Structure 1
Amino acid sequence: MGVLHPLRRLSDSVNQVAIVLCVGCILAMLGISFTAFLYKLFTGSTLSWTYSLARLFLPWIGFLSMTISLRYGEHVAMTLLVRSLPRIMVQIAAGLCLAVIGLFALMLIWYGWGYFTNATQVYMVSDQIRIPSKFTAVVVPISGVLMLLHLVHGFALLEHFLDERDMIDELIEANDGERRP
């Protein structure tokens, strides 16, 4: 267990960086769109590059948010079906689920790296703004690496092992503690 604890802390730290990057991408998209809106409002004409530039952030938002949701256990799960199984079957199903997530992450890395290295196009956002397609392609293998890193949390990534009663009791205690002077 000596190696898992630092890896879990690294996973949590990297997850915080991914959250900041996602928020930054969203703010950049909003800023670009708001700039286009203001330009149109004041001049009556449009900026041709705003839509093309803003949409380049979408792959980053999508792939990074996928890793963030995995870390918090917010991915698709068949909780009702799994919870109706005996405990040993739940553990087997959870192990298989983690294995499939790991396989998916490895495929993202393997095929994503090929996609990244072969990305030679240049996005012509405008005459002056040219962005290599590698900018959007690199997020595919990065997200695979992040998913593999998050797998060090093991069964904690799966909501099958969360006890709602304990969570509800913790929330009630936390709220009661906030109300007391």
Structure 2
Amino acid sequence: MRLLASLRRVSDGVNHVAIVACVACILLMLGISFTAFVYKLMTGSTLSWTYSLARLFLPWIGFLSMTISLRYGEHVAMTLLVRSLPRVLLKVAAGLCLGVIALFALLLVWYGWDFFLGTSQVYMVSDQIQIHGKFTAIVVPLSGVIILLHLVQGFDLLEHFIDDETLIEELIESNDTEARS
């Protein structure tokens, strides 16, 4: 049980790092775009490399945000249908859902690693800026590993087990406690 608790803390830490990495990628994209905008205002000409460089961060944002949304239970789910099932079938459906997520993550790792190893393309952002394709390709297996790590959270990844009334009562109690302080 201590191993599971440790893995859950690691999952939370990795999720925090993924959030910081996504924010950093977005800020870098905005910084590059803002630089291009200011340069265009000042000189009247454009920097040819800004668009090409900024779009290299999109795979990182997409794949890492996928792992973040999974961790918070924000993935696509058929909650209404699943909640209408009897408790036993609800657990079976949740187990199947976690199994499909695990299979997807394993496929990301398996095929993503081959994709990463086979990538030989170099992005010619400009004459001076050349970025190897491995920079963007590594995010595919990395996101699969993160998803597999998040699976230690178990049914907490699925919103099927959230009791709305209990959640609302907890929120009201926490607000009352804050108001008294």
Query: Could you state the TM-score of these two structures normalised by the residue count of structure 2?
Result: 0.98
1:177 CA displacement:
2.3
Within-5 A mapping of 1:128-147: 128-147=128-147
1:178 CA displacement:
2.4
- Distance in 1, matches of 2:39 and 2:170, equals 50
- Distance in 1, matches of 2:150 and 2:98, equals 10
- Distance in 2, matches of 1:83 and 1:112, equals 34
1:180 CA displacement:
2.5
Within-5 A mapping of 1:1-181: 1-181=1-181
- Distance in 1, matches of 2:129 and 2:80, equals 50
1:167 CA displacement:
1.2
| Gapped regions of structure 2 (runs ≥ 5) | none
1:179 CA displacement:
2.3
SS class of match (2:64): helix
- Distance in 2, matches of 1:93 and 1:16, equals 29
RMSD over aligned CA atoms reads 0.7
Deviation per residue, 1:40-81 (Å, 9 max, x gap): 111111100000000000000000000001111110000000
- Distance in 2, matches of 1:26 and 1:166, equals 36
Deviation per residue, 1:100-126 (Å, 9 max, x gap): 000000000000000000000000000
1:171 CA displacement:
1.3
Aligned length: 181
| Gapped regions of structure 1 (runs ≥ 5) | none
SS class of match (1:103): helix
Task: Kindly provide the amino acid, as one letter, of the partner of residue 109 in structure 2.
Answer: I
Q: Identity over the aligned pairs, expressed in percent?
A: 75
Deviation per residue, 1:106-149 (Å, 9 max, x gap): 00000000000000000000010000000000000000000000
Task: Kindly provide the amino acid, as one letter, of the partner of residue 126 in structure 1.
Answer: S
1:24 CA displacement:
0.3
Query: Could you state the TM-score of these two structures normalised by the residue count of structure 1?
Result: 0.98
- Distance in 1, matches of 2:40 and 2:176, equals 51
1:3 CA displacement:
1.4
Task: Kindly provide the amino acid, as one letter, of the partner of residue 18 in structure 2.
Answer: A
